[in-house]
Structure 1
Amino acid sequence: MVMVRTLQIKDHGLPLHLTLYESSPQAPVAIFIHGMTAHAGFYSDMIPGANYLQALAGAGLNVVALDLQGHGRSGGARGRFTYAEAIRNIRRAVDFALETYHDRIGITGSSMGGILAFYAALEDPRIRAAVCHNVLDLRDIRPVLYLRRHFILVPLARATRPLQPILGELPIPVRAFLEPSHVFEKPENRHRWLRDPHCVWAYRLKAWVSVFLEPSDKPPVEAMTKPVRLLVGEHDRILPADMHRAFAARLRGRSDLIVVPGAGHMLPLEYLETTVPLVAEWFHEHLHA
């Protein structure tokens, strides 16, 4: 029987909201990181009958779902965070998992959360395996910018660095970069997303630059030594499958890439029955006692 509870932990005094879906005390732990705009509850409550987090727990995992600072029910101004703060938030979730369960800890995430999950696994030796729905080389995101015809963003970001103390808090709408129809295929799901009161619809310029346009504080993807599975929909229009194939070819450790046939971007919610076994089997294989 899956037990569900919520609680708060602290990171430098800031409350971070955790949602726990617990399978059994000795089950492998999967820390879950949400995508852009989202929060943990987005993956459990938004679409009737599509509780991704409970399904993962039902597949034999203890799920620790984190709301990053500035998101969902965690503290901090909406849309204000940096790459370093996100990695630190995740470290606090790992601390909690070690104190509460055991050391068989993996990490998974969706969209931006998959990208951050990959880097958290790179940076935190306590994370033993990862399943990433979407990845991106944060040291060089030019391929995706060129794909989206956002050629000007890299030189523009470099030009604004001296002005960060002044412009860093400027809110940049998510829809300037992200088309809702590319996220959800079904219109009714897009409408639910756009009405979610806990979603973030603008990020501070500082957040965009820190996560996506500042390479100096990210390790190279080739440094990954943990077992990592990459997931992407065949027709993902945000982070395409070909980009994932090129990324996977650079990994030197134990890894695989699964391209879900016929799928778009939102694997956890619109392709739940396919995605859950792919996540669970990887963690059961690599986080066994």
Structure 2
Amino acid sequence: MRIDNVTDYSHSVPARGGLQTAAEDPSRAGSAPMNASAPAAPYWHRYYSTAEIERIRRVLQVRQLPSTGVTLHLDIYPQPRRGAPLLVLNHGGGGYGGLFVKLAMACHALGYTVVLPDQKGQGRSGGAMGDFTIDEAVQNIVDVARWARQEYGGTLYLGGGSVGSGLTYFAAAAMARDGDPPAAVLCHNLYDFGDPRTALEFTRFAVLARLPLLPPLFRALMRGLARLAPGLRLPYRPLAKFREMLDRRDWDGGFHELWRRDPHILTTVTARYFASVLGTPAAIPFEQNQAVPVLVTNPTRDRMVRPEVTRQSFLRLAGPRRYAELDFGHFSLQPEFTQQLARLADAWFKEHGAGG
């Protein structure tokens, strides 16, 4: 599949070869780029030190890609040569590409061209914030992956964390169904959106997921609500234990307060989104996977979603698979976390074709 309608901002690279500030915050489809002569520092810079931002500026490029009727924002960390191994990293429901920068840079240092897309209705991409479905998010990843493989060459890998872990597997499964799977994937956590228990496990009411009749009933009720009022706005942050997203090592750095004020983080989502999380099956169920090698990493300090959810998902996987536990919370900005995750991913990918 060829995708030609791509906006390229590489002509606006500052003389230092750095950040594409001209396109940094086209937060909705059709918006004009920021004035390159007087760019404001993007909000996500606040998560990183001045030294880190300087290193990022030397590498980062920004492009836009049409998908599912909107314009997606892509942060790209390219290698200087075409054909380097290619990694598309996918954010979760409480983030966007700007929060994965440390992991992107760690993978870039290992020789990968890294693409971080913001999905529809999230981060800096187009569409109404919080109004999307699992199928649309999966299609976003598939479109980005196919475009990136065409643009950069190289062996294609996918990765993602939190909700992005399930989306990563779902996208890989959709590509495998169509005969063009990625060489391998990294799933930091692993969730199945075809199982209504999964969505409940994300919430403060996770205990209800263990009641046999409640998850199917909740799915039926949400499907009915989505049919009647698909755009109905429902609170997002109060439902999940976002205070537990990172462990104390990141709390001490003030992450949660920065995250809470981030204008690119979801505050509400629509009924159609909730319904999709409760009942969207993968193109290839975990038990039938044969085409996609899957590395599953599971954070043992996770207090946001029980690590047992990921363990059980891993045990359902067929095909080539590997499991590793990490001594961190649901996610982390700690250098030890990003280095460990990048090394695990690199070793797994090298078993399945990465070598440039």
TM-score normalized with structure 1 length: 0.89
Residue 12 to residue 143, structure 1, CA distance change in 2 (3 Å)? closer
CA contact (8 A) 2:130 2:270 kept: yes
- Name 1:250's counterpart in structure 2: 316
Paired residue type of 1:149: V
Deviations 1:157-213 (A, max 9, x none): 302433424322122222232112210223311111111111112111111111x21
**Does residue 306 of structure 2 align to residue 240 of structure 1?**
yes
Paired residue type of 1:28: P
Once the two structures are TM-superposed, the CA of residue 268 in structure 1 deviates from its matched residue by 5.7
Once the two structures are TM-superposed, the CA of residue 249 in structure 1 deviates from its matched residue by 1.9
Residue 71 to residue 269, structure 1, CA distance change in 2 (3 Å)? farther
- Name 1:198's counterpart in structure 2: 264
Q: What percent identity do the matched residue pairs reach?
A: 27
Give the structure, 1 or 2, with the largest relative contact order (CA under 8 Å, sep 6 or more): 1
- Name 2:65's counterpart in structure 1: 9
Deviations 1:41-63 (A, max 9, x none): 1222xxxxxx2211211121111
Q: For 1:16-55, list aligned pairs within 5 A.
A: 16-23=72-79, 24-44=81-101, 51-55=102-106
SS of the equivalent of 1:107 reads strand
**Does residue 141 of structure 2 align to residue 85 of structure 1?**
no
CA–CA distance in 1 between the matches of 2:256 and 2:285? 34
CA contact (8 A) 1:60 1:280 kept: no
What is the aligned residue count? 281
Give structure 2 stretches of 5+ with no counterpart. Answer: 1-54
Aligned equivalent of 2:195, options 140, 145, 149: 140
**Worse overlay, 172-181 or 157-166:** 157-166
Residue 18 to residue 209, structure 1, CA distance change in 2 (3 Å)? same
Aligned equivalent of 2:226, options 147, 150, 164: 164
Q: Rg: which structure is higher?
A: 2
CA contact (8 A) 2:197 2:215 kept: no
Residue 65 to residue 191, structure 1, CA distance change in 2 (3 Å)? same
Aligned equivalent of 1:117, options 140, 165, 168: 168
CA–CA distance in 2 between the matches of 1:167 and 1:154? 20
Paired residue type of 1:161: R
CA contact (8 A) 1:70 1:78 kept: yes
SS of the equivalent of 1:17 reads strand
**Does residue 207 of structure 2 align to residue 149 of structure 1?**
yes
CA contact (8 A) 1:22 1:63 kept: yes
CA–CA distance in 2 between the matches of 1:231 and 1:177? 25
Q: How much is the aligned-residue C-alpha RMSD, in angstroms?
A: 2.2
TM-score normalized with structure 2 length: 0.73
Deviations 1:221-245 (A, max 9, x none): 1122211100111121233333322
SS of the equivalent of 1:176 reads coil
